Chain A
Amino acid sequence: MDQSPFPEIAHLHETFTEGLDLDCGAHLAQIDIAYRTYGTLNADRSNAVLVCHALTGDQYVAETHPLTGKPAWWGAMVGAGKPVDTDRYFVICSNVLGGCMGSTGPRSRSDQNVGEPWGTLFPPVTIQDMVRAQKKLIDRLGISRLFAVIGGSMGGMQALAWASLFPESVFAAVPVATAAHHSAQNIAFHEVGRQAIFADPDFHGGRYWAHGVIPARGLAVARMTAHITYLSEAALTRKFGRRLQGGDVLSPILFGERFAVESYLEHQGSSFVRRFDANSYLCITRAMDFFDLAADHGGSLGAAFRGSKTRFLLVSFSSDWLFPTAESRTIARALNQAAANVSFVEIVSDKGHDAFLLDEPDFHRTIAGFLGGAAEAAGLA
């Protein structure tokens, strides 16, 4: 497996020299937020849509990735004539704080040790910290109110945090396949991934850069575990079943034959390490684990949205067991408590959590229709 760190390339970014106060009490002296925009901001700056990416996503939501050469990660959703229509809306997507595609994170130069990256000494960030960093970017772009904030999974957590922290700045929020807190089961899966990274001898206590290597094996295992949670049993069965790679003859060697699903996971793991930093993975999974919107409001999720004028659309997928429909329903009920304007749909799909990234016509129609209705209510031409 490739042991070299993935190359640094230039990303469009804004620098904030005033830095950022974090929830943990630490202060980052200066932060960079890397971002991409699509479409045109209208004259009264009212058509901006912020797309928030998930754990391992980045700002290249609607274009070919400059590092991997892979297609846009949400190309079916964002683009000209797509549900998030760049002919109509000005779409912004930024790499989260703690990320590794140009925003300040564990891979950035440390405030404290000159010439060294932060590594595991990067302070713990929260979903809310990520959102406050995005707010700085939005302010810098001269936008006082976002027409919509949209995101799936961890992106949905950010959409919820946006609506809770800056209700006046969010006309519509679309949290997809997400939850108001990370469940014990989800934390457990994250922990397996993190332990795999820690157990890799190439991790070197997080200072792998000093040795010219990356904990590729550990990070790949983390990705493989996580990837299983993104799919459903039905999807795995449909795609791979019990198929063996090299025919159906039992090999005389224990691991002489490989199941197709094994090769698939192996591929997912090895391609992931060529674009993602292990310390970033640790940092961001931790941010998700600590997300608990109700706990931040005295245990009442409804209180997080009290008096909210934001229009919400919650979407879940029937086969998603990582962020099951019950989590979205909990959010819907909390929004009902706050008498907020909420739409809530469960899309029938057998593709598991990943469904939000895939071709799901009902899902796409739902998003397009909701945004269209919200645009009408917002007076967007």
Chain B
Amino acid sequence: MNDAAPVRFVAKNMRVDLELIAGMIAPGSRVLDIGCGDGALIDHLFRTRECDARGIEIDMAEVTRAVAHGLPVMQGDADTDLTHYPDDAFDYVVLSRTLQAVGRPREVLRQMLRIGTRAIVSFPNFGHWSLRWQLLTTGRMPMTKTWGRMWYETPNIHPCTIRDFFSLCDEEGYRVETWLAADDAGRHAPWRRAPMLANLFGEQGLFLLRRDHRAFRA
């Protein structure tokens, strides 16, 4: 890894994420991918599912790469730029392995479910057993492939666990339509119905959320 590279996001394991997320999206949908990187998901959705998929990415080099590949991507910041979109502009708003790096995750989620009917959120699970084990045995911040930067320079300023995320959805009144936990290779079967186990063995959590209209009635 090049240490001089600007620190912003963890390296994305797009291949695993892309397949899982794409599987949740209905063909022909309007999709906004926040933190879209070089636009691999957008490209995939456009080519295989005929979606009107667009992206926002903060890293200008990635944006240039995406646009130079003909993908509709704009440079922008999840924390500040979602407020400019109208309500219900998209069927799905995707935030793939980026939630832990934004300044105000709760506000970003609110915006996602304002401008989109559904939100798809994936994040690396800080409750994974290997992280717990490292913290327990060494008493230092865990270092893994995903959590590979020192605490003072990590872009991942808001790590959370799968159980944390369930609890936030509950507080905010988001309905979890589907969820799964996956390991590094994208396998997700064993912990499907057991959040406690998923929180221990899942390398990442993936959620399909929908605005719960009951929460807005008051």
| A interface residue numbers (CB < 8 A to B) | 311, 313-314, 332-334, 336-339, 341-348, 362, 365-366, 368-370, 372-374, 376
CA distance A314 to B72 in the complex (A): 11
Q: Which residue of B lies closest to A344 (CB)?
A: B74
CB closest residue in chain A, given B82: A336
Query: B71 touching A346 by the CB < 8 A rule?
Result: no
Q: A336-B84, A337-B84, A339-B85 are in contact. Are A348 and B60 (CB under 8 A)?
A: yes
Q: Which residues between 26 and 40 of chain B lie within 8 Å of chain A, taking CB atoms? A: none
Measured between beta carbons, the chain A residues less than 8 angstroms from B54 are 341-342
Subset of 12 A-B contacts with CB under 8 Å: A333-B81, A333-B84, A336-B74, A342-B74, A344-B74, A345-B67, A345-B74, A347-B64, A366-B64, A366-B68, A370-B70, A376-B70
A341 to B31, CA, bound (A): 11
Chain A residues, Cβ within 8 Å of B60: 345-346, 348
Residue contact B71 to A373, C-beta cutoff 8 Å: yes
Instruction: With both chains docked as a complex, state the minimum distance between the C-beta of A290 and any C-beta of chain B, in angstroms.
Output: 27
A346 to B57, CA, bound (A): 12
Q: Decide yes or no whether B120 CB sits under 8 A from chain A.
A: no
With A332-B74, A333-B81 as contacts: A343 and B67 at CB distance below 8 Å: yes
Q: Are A337 and B73 in contact (CB under 8 A)?
A: no
| A338: chain B residues within 8 A (beta carbon) | 86
- Bound together, the chains give a CA A341 to CA B42 distance in angstroms of 13
Which residue from A339, A341, A369, A374 sits with its C-beta under 8 Å from B68?
A369
Task: With CB as the reference atom, state the residue of chain B lying closest to A318.
Answer: B60
Say yes or no: B72 contacts A365, CB within 8 Å: no
Question: In the complex the two chains form, is A339's CB within 8 Å of B89's CB?
Answer: yes
A-contact bits for B88-102, CB 8 A (1 contact / 0 none): 010000000000000
Which residues of A have CB within 8 Å of B84? 333-334, 336-337
> B67 touches which one: A337, A341, A348, A370 (CB < 8 A)?
A370
| B159 CB-CB contact with A under 8 Å | no
Which residue of A342, A345, A348 has the most chain B CB atoms within 10 A of its CB atom?
A: A345
Q: Does B75 contact A (CB under 8 A)?
A: yes
Q: How far is the CA of A187 from the CA of B106 in the complex (A)?
A: 43
Q: Is the CB of A341 within 8 A of B72?
A: yes
In the assembled complex, the Cα of A338 lies from the Cα of B85 at a distance in Å of 7
Does B198 sit at the interface, judged by CB under 8 A?
A: no
Measured in the bound complex, the distance between the Cα atoms of B145 and A120 in whole Å is 70
CB pair B69 A369 closer than 8 Å: yes
| B76 touches A (CB below 8 Å) | yes
Query: 9 additional contacts, CB 8 Å, given A337-B86, A366-B67?
Result: A313-B67, A332-B74, A336-B81, A342-B54, A343-B71, A345-B63, A346-B75, A373-B69, A373-B70
In the bound complex, residues from chain A placing their C-beta under 8 Å from that of B63 are 344-345
**Nearest B-chain residue to A362, judged by Cβ:** B64
A153 to B74 alpha-carbon distance, docked (Å): 20
Contact B70 A369, beta carbon cutoff 8 Å: yes
| Candidates A339, A368, A374; contact of B86 at CB < 8 Å | A339
How far is A312 from B54 in the complex, measured between Cα atoms in Å? Answer: 12
Q: Kindly provide the distance from the CB of A273 to the nearest chain B CB, expressed in whole angstroms.
A: 39
Query: With an 8 A cutoff between CB atoms, is B183 at the interface?
Result: no
Interface centre among B52, B54, B75, B89 (most CB of A within 10 A): B75
How far apart are A35's CB and chain B's nearest CB, in angstroms? Answer: 28
Partner of B72, one of A334, A343, A368: A343
B72→A342 contact, CB < 8 A: yes
A345–B75 CB distance below 8 A: yes
- CB-defined contacts of B85 to chain A, threshold 8 Å: 336-337, 339
Complex Cα–Cα for A366 and B81 (A) = 22
Q: B44 CB to closest chain A CB, in angstroms?
A: 14
Complex alpha-carbon distance, A374 and B69, angstroms = 10
Which residues of the other chain, A, contact B52 by a CB distance below 8 angstroms? 341
Q: Whose C-beta in chain A lies nearest to the C-beta of B70?
A: A373
Please give me the residue from chain A that is nearest to B87 by CB atom. Answer: A339
| Residue of chain A at shortest CB distance from B90 | A339
**Distance of A376 Cα from B69 Cα, bound (Å):** 11
Closest to A348 in B: B60
- Residues 188 to 211 of chain B near chain A (Cβ within 8 Å): none
Residues of B within 8 A of A334 (CB): 84
Do A368 and B68 have beta carbons less than 8 Å apart?
yes
Residue in B closest to A370 when the chains form the complex, CB atoms: B67
Residue pair B73, A343 in contact (C-beta under 8 Å): yes
Closest B residue to A374 by CB, please name it. B70
A373 touches B72 (CB 8 A): yes
Say yes or no: B70 contacts A344, CB within 8 Å.
Answer: no
A31 to chain B, nearest CB (A): 37
Minimum C-beta distance from B65 to chain A (A): 9
Q: Which A residues are in CB contact (< 8 Å) with B68?
A: 362, 365-366, 368-370
CB A170 to nearest CB in B, in angstroms, measures 16
User: How many whole Å from B211's CB to the nearest CB in chain A?
Assistant: 18
B71 → chain A, closest Cβ, in Å? Answer: 6
Q: How far is the CB of A339 from chain B (nearest CB, A)?
A: 4
Most B CB contacts (10 A, CB to CB) among A332, A368, A373 go to A373
CB distance from A234 to the nearest CB of B (A): 18
Residue of chain B at shortest CB distance from A333: B84
Query: In the bound complex, what is the Cα–Cα distance between A374 and B72 (angstroms)?
Result: 9
Nearest-neighbour CB distance to chain B for A343, whole angstroms, equals 5
